[in-house]
A and B are shown apart, each in its own frame.
Chain A
Amino acid sequence: MTKIGLEIHCQLTNLESKLFCSCKANYREFEPNQNICPVCAGMPGSLPRLNQEAVKKATMISMALNCSTPEKIAFFRKNYFYPDLPKNFQITQLNIYGDTSVGGSGTITVGDKKIRITRIQLEEDPGRLIYEGSSSKNQITLVDYNRAGTPLVEIVTEPDFETPKEVRDFLNILSDLLKNLGVADPSLEGAMRADANVSTRGGNKVEIKNIGSFHDLEKAAHFEITRQESLHDRDIPIVQETRHWDDRRKITVSSRSKEEDLDYRYFLEGDIPWVKINPEIQKELNAKMPESISSKKERYVTKYHIPQQVAEVLSSDKFYSDLFEDSHSETNAKEVANIITTELMGLEDTREKRESSKLTATHLRDLADAIQNGKVSRNSSKNALHEILKTGKSVLQIISELDLGNVSNETQLLEIIDKIISDEPQAVEQAKSNPQTINFLVGKVMQATKGKADPTLTLNLLKKQLT
């Protein structure tokens, strides 16, 4: 019986400033050590100043994961020495004097399974290290404190996962949830990291650290399970230890961390009083929370009759569900959803494409309406979309410029149909016995009209002409 638990670290990249100082939370645009101040560089005499919005966002995350949220939270020091740790201690949260971290126990549903959240804590990210020097003799470590002090939310789960795939699915759901809440952009490099712990057949728990991506996490879990199973099969006991993921060799390797380093001497952080988050504020935060993904999906299905699959895809994506909200009307919701999920997402498949796209909610609404009113066929609408993204011109303009208007004039169509019938005598013969061949003829009409013919109308007219 395999048990996997996770420790996920997510940066609150949507904040303006770091957790304990006013340097920028998103450090990625800076040259090394250009986003630092005496506080986050650990200068003598500096003191931490807690970021109010960080506490609020962490509380909202806890609420979104159905975790209990205490009225008073406390911060602790985790003491150890490492060059990326400017104070040589990390300010983090613990629950040794009652429930004092920002989120207590909760749950999240993955498929038909409930995964239990142990706790959620708010803490600071360390800096970054680069190694220079070719030989082991002249190697030095270079430290960049730009990232030091970035606000992190750590989400710890119970070992409720049974397969690596479940883990992968969970991480995707969590990622979407955090994005939907507006607290983080998990797609930013390094914004979301996870460690795992794995135990099999009731044996000891093994921690796996240094996992670079979710993809690697799935692989690492897989490898570790296999490694443990093979040890079990040979009656070799599993050592309780920390291993790190070696991305080059695609294996987990024992870390052999020294005994001394494991005593963190936890005690309360005296520079930060206990923060009171009273019930009124908690209620306010709850009310301010954006609609959850599951609630959106529910609404799409029941109110707009959008198919389950489409609703699933749309609700999970914050960018596109926001676009949907802005562009749909009472009548065209299903069509808008369809355009987004079947066409738009594919066209705008990178952040750059989304950012440079000239499409607005109005475009989407007009396009959906045009399709529904038969002004343009669904086929042609693909071309229209392309053009909109590039030029931003109005739907009306594009339909006329590209001559995409639907040929739905019966007389016009009949003319074309008659021509096709005369051009394709063999197909016409076959169509009389094999109904499938009609589609070939419809296709021919579409070709002749450059895709502008209304397919339903064409089919009906063809059928009439052939009988």
Chain B
Amino acid sequence: MNLKISALEFIEEAKNGNISVEEFVSTTLERINSVDDKLHAFLSVNDSAIEQARNIDKKIKSGEDVGDCFGMPISIKDNMCIKDSKTTCASKMLENFIAPYDATVISKLKKQDAIFIGKVNMDEFAMGLTTEFSAFGPSKNPWNIEHVPGGSSGGSAVSVSSYECIASLGSDTGGSVRNPASFCSTVGYKPTYGLISRFGLISYANSIEQIGPLTRTVKDTAFMLNLIAGVDPNDNTTVNNNNEDYLENIDSGIEGKKIGIVTEMIGDGIDPEVMTATKEAISKLEGLGAICEEVSLEMVKYSVAAYYTITATEAGSNLARYDNLRYGYEMPVEGYEFNSYISKARKNFGPEVTRRMIIGGFVPSAGHAGKYFLKAMKVKSKLTKEINEAFKKFDLLVAPTVPILPFKIGEKIDDPVSLFLVDINTVAANLTGKPAISIPFKIVNGLPIGIQLMANSMNDKMLLQAAHALEKTVTLPEVPL
């Protein structure tokens, strides 16, 4: 059974009865068994998957209504709640946590007969860029297992690119969907802020993060978006997209579109291979009829510092609820006083999360808020103004998703600032709420390079059209696994 098909192809075949969902799911599970020891994408696998697949086959045969997903196996980043399932955020703090409810995106996909094949690995509480900060061990890049797969949605990207599932849902706070998508050569999408409900997504930085799909093709992403986007009464920050159909007219192309090349995102520190690939991408875009021109976004220089200041502050607050009293892991309360208990219980956070919490306590604190947190908020405002100005002239902005090639496991783990700067091209979209997508573009020395496109708020449809157009200009080798 061929696992190397897109979601839309799978659905077509399943709908027509050309493939059995049960067989596909069963082959998928075999695949996971055979490669995941090496890759470590999965934290848990759904042992009812085959039974669920069988039921869907029955529905298809009997002519009953079947949901749009037709049993397609999807992996879910382990920071989204699936009712009665373990949801750990790759942290020892939540190793016993069983979610009592479904996240909105999960309910929506359940209704459409998706099969959640398993929960996948991530940086602990989504804080990281390489999945090396998972409390349960790093994931490996299927293109070269000595290299990082990116993060924090590393498990999502690995599982999609190694054919362990058809698609995945990750979360993107500063590039956490786009970065691993780029490193693993898949499509990774961060929608306009508010397009997808965050209800049931365990918060890290709630004012800027979004759930996003990782898929093999841009059309697959548009398909997923159709299923999960839309206003949700359970999330006051969701916006009305008027039931937009993102697949419709996705072939429209980008003739005449103006595309800005962000100078600060191709500056010093960019790997020469990445620069070359970027220039090639720009030619392709021009070949498709777009007009490309350089544009400067001055605040990008400060965006990484602003991003880490704001996210640490929000994380410090969002993670305060993990006091191990209602949920968490086994640690009895007898013999402790309140403060000593929770301070000890919270030692179960990994070192990176602990560092971020300390920063998150520091930068908004009474003596320092003016210098750090408030300034970061103002940088966020100014960057938003700059980018809005740019979008008056340009339809899209382009840059490499990550300025460097996927690096080796362990290479940057001790150098926090160098690690921060891997995010420099992606955080702007989060800080400003704009949609952005990473498209797999090139493989150099066996390592993937992705190109990022950004559009103005609520222009997700047009962004997907452009991404689809660019995607069609390249044919990439298969993952060597």
Contact = CB atoms under 8 A, between A and B. Distances in A.
Given A271-B236, A273-B236, A45 B334 contact: no
B116 to A, nearest CB: 16
Interface bracket on A: 20 to 34
B136 interface: no
B236 A272 contact: yes
Interface string A248-269: 0000000000000001011110
Nearest to A77: B317
Given A140-B333, A265-B364, A43 B100 contact: yes
Interface stretch (B25-33, B212-220, B318-326): B318-326
A428 B419 CA distance: 112
Nearest to B320: A88
Given A46-B199, A141-B338, A271-B237, A88 B323 contact: yes
Interface in B28-86: 79-81
Q: Is the interface of A mostly helix, strand, loop or mixed?
A: loop
Given A44-B202, A45-B80, A88-B323, A265 B236 contact: no
A210 B182 CA distance: 56
A263 B321 contact: no
A7 B459 CA distance: 47
Nearest to A139: B337
B99 A45 contact: yes
B302 interface: no
A175 B89 CA distance: 47
B323 A267 contact: no
B327 A140 contact: no
B48 to A, nearest CB: 22
B6 interface: no
Q: Is the interface of B mostly helix, strand, loop or mixed?
A: loop
Interface stretch (A47-55, A110-118, A155-163, A331-339): A47-55
A81 B320 contact: yes
Contacts, number: 105
Contact of A265 (B100, B323, B338, B361): B361
Contacts of B201: 45
A17 B328 CA distance: 29
Interface in A248-304: 263, 265-268, 270-273
Given A44-B327, A88-B321, A273-B237, A38 B101 contact: yes
Interface string A25-46: 0000000000000100111111
A265 B316 contact: yes
A81 B319 CA distance: 11
B97 interface: yes
A129 to B, nearest CB: 10
Nearest to A49: B236
Given A81-B323, A265-B361, A47 B235 contact: yes
Contacts of A46: 199-200
Interface of A: 38, 41-50, 77, 79, 81, 83, 86-89, 138, 140-141, 143, 263, 265-268, 270-273
15 contacts: A38-B100, A44-B99, A44-B203, A45-B103, A45-B203, A49-B233, A81-B320, A81-B339, A83-B338, A86-B321, A138-B334, A265-B361, A267-B313, A271-B237, A272-B237
